[in-house]
Amino acid sequence: YYALVFLLTCIIIHVLTSLINGRSNHKLPPGPYPRPIVGNLFQLGQNPHRSLSNLAKIHGPIMTLKLGQVTTIIISSPEMAKEVLQTHDHSLSDRPIPQSLTVLDHAYYGIGFLPNSSPLWRYLRRICNNQLFTNKALDASKFLRQKKLKELLNDVYHSSQTGEAIDIGKAAFKTGINFLSNTIFSIDFAQSISDAGDYKDIVVSILKATGSPNLADFFPLLRFIDPQGIKRSYGICIRKLFVLFDKLIEERLKMREGVNYATNNDMLDALLDISQEEDSKVMDKQQIKHLLHDLFVAGTDTTSYSLEWAMAELIHNPDIMSKAKKEVEEAVGIGNPVTESDIATLPYLQAIIKETLRLHPPAPLLLPRKAKVSVELINGYTIPKGANIMINVFAIGRHQETWENPTLFSPDRFMGTNVDVKGKDFQLTPFGSGRRICPGLPLAMRMLHLMLGTLINTFDWKLENGMKPKEMNMEDVIGGNALRKKDPLRVIPVKII
């Protein structure tokens, strides 16, 4: 009986919305015909970034899809991305709120999902831009990351002694999460490459829960039912994470009471300083936990998957690997780890990271945005109020009209150009752009160059079982929150000197 009532309700809603849309449809961007109730949901498949790229070849660089009940606009060219991310950024940079993130009201306190008109969001962005991710703050914590880099090298050295292959994704994940946990708390979240550590397990579970497609986000009526139990399992994880954060914050508050306490130069101290300033009523303990949650969720697998891709591309392209090694060797001396101050002297390494993010953007559709009001774009199409917007940076990174040999991995294309990932060049925006651009960009770029430069300057790398570089499988898959290599990259390190 309930199923029948549910089905009838869905059909009535579908008919009503079609009628309403029908009246104003003339300016909606084109797109594939939506089926009753499910719309175009099944056309997304397992790899939405690829299926949407294929649909864009038929319907154009701005398309309308109906994902369940949600009107969704897909952008697939640099020109249209500029319209959304720059020209109409103010009207188009709210976020749809995922049903799971309403646990503990996280979506209403976390930086990632607050609307851009919210004073709290603006306040949190200011703290990120002016305090947590400034060059000065990141310079103050760089010795912590250098220490973690040494530990990565010890792990790699151990494998080189035994001749065992290393799973680069796992090693990068461990190092990335420890870079982050040290930058934030001055402690390690992950103890070993294979696993261990409550913190790491919880972060991994959160990434799984937030990365799984949730029917409740496509059929708003289901938000109250939690059909796949995603909200429930995410609820368990976020509560556990908050308990751990509580413990760390309490410990730090006690330490700070000591007369001889000298700052740790980490983000927690910066946030507690802000919370203890007399006029800050906003940055209380609860608010700090919501912010830290988002930094971990947004910063962990994005960074480690990018590193895995960069290494995979270098091993897949031995000539580019040799050229990169030569550059690092000349700048920092063979066998030495790269430091964060070396990065500016390594233009080819920088080009490799850009090229990796062009072909393998960890967030291939960015984070979804939502239209605050209806907006008419330069080409006459309208993005209707309330629609979700996805920018397919995977498609834009391979856009035929923009890039020569778009699928070829060729860092040289960036040499001698000013094209960068910082949100000004709309053909390359893996970190997004405008008001909502990734605040962690400066830290992510330091971590990537540090790990990649060091790994190639201290070891040579061989594929397992005599595999040849050209035999590598370079397919991708969405894993957790980000685009990762389908076959994990397993390589044997050989110590250089």
Site for ligand HEM, rule CB under 6 A: 111-112, 125, 180, 294-295, 298-299, 302-303, 306, 362-363, 366-367, 430-433, 436-440, 443-444
Min CB(34)–ligand HEM separation in Å = 25
**Of 301 and 342, CB closest to ligand HEM:** 301
Q: How far apart are the first and last CA of the chain?
A: 73
| Other beta carbons within 10 Å of 69 | 19
**Of 249 and 298, CB closest to ligand HEM:** 298
Q: Encode burial over 297-325: b for 16+ CB neighbours within 10 A, e otherwise.
A: bbbbbbbbbbbbbbbbbbbbbeebbeebb
**Of 64 and 302, CB closest to ligand HEM:** 302
Min CB(359)–ligand HEM separation in Å = 13
**Of 10 and 81, CB closest to ligand HEM:** 81
Contact (CB, 8 A) for 492 and 330:
no
Min CB(362)–ligand HEM separation in Å = 4
The DSSP annotation for 244-307 comes to HHHHHHHHHHHHHHSTT-----SHHHHHHHHHHSTT--S--HHHHHHHHHHHHHHHHHHHHHHH
Min CB(114)–ligand HEM separation in Å = 8
Burial of 177 (0-12, 13-18, 19+ CB in 10 A): buried
Question: Hey, what are 9's tokens?
Answer: 């309700």
**Of 226 and 301, CB closest to ligand HEM:** 301
**Of 129 and 322, CB closest to ligand HEM:** 129
Q: Cα–Cα distance between 243 and 205 in angstroms, integer?
A: 15
**Of 183 and 457, CB closest to ligand HEM:** 183
Region label for 313, one of left (φ > 0), alpha (ψ between -120 and 50) or beta (otherwise): alpha
Min CB(368)–ligand HEM separation in Å = 8
**Of 294 and 340, CB closest to ligand HEM:** 294
Contact (CB, 8 A) for 144 and 157:
no
**Of 202 and 443, CB closest to ligand HEM:** 443
Min CB(483)–ligand HEM separation in Å = 9
Element (H, E) at 316: helix 285-316
Min CB(301)–ligand HEM separation in Å = 9
Min CB(492)–ligand HEM separation in Å = 26
Element (H, E) at 461: strand 459-463
**Of 6 and 123, CB closest to ligand HEM:** 123
Min CB(437)–ligand HEM separation in Å = 5
Min CB(19)–ligand HEM separation in Å = 32
The DSSP annotation for 419-441 comes to --SSSS-TT--TT--GGGS-TTH
**Of 98 and 430, CB closest to ligand HEM:** 430
Q: Cα–Cα distance between 122 and 319 in angstroms, integer?
A: 46
Min CB(262)–ligand HEM separation in Å = 24
**Of 190 and 492, CB closest to ligand HEM:** 190
Min CB(353)–ligand HEM separation in Å = 9
Selection from 204, 128, 143, 135 nearest residue 169 by Cα = 204
Q: Cα–Cα distance between 339 and 457 in angstroms, integer?
A: 12
Burial of 16 (0-12, 13-18, 19+ CB in 10 A): exposed
The upper half-sphere exposure of residue 481, i.e. CA atoms within 13 Å in the direction of its Cβ, equals: 21
Q: Encode burial over 345-354: b for 16+ CB neighbours within 10 A, e otherwise.
A: ebebbbbbbb
Largest CA distance in the chain: 74
Burial of 369 (0-12, 13-18, 19+ CB in 10 A): buried
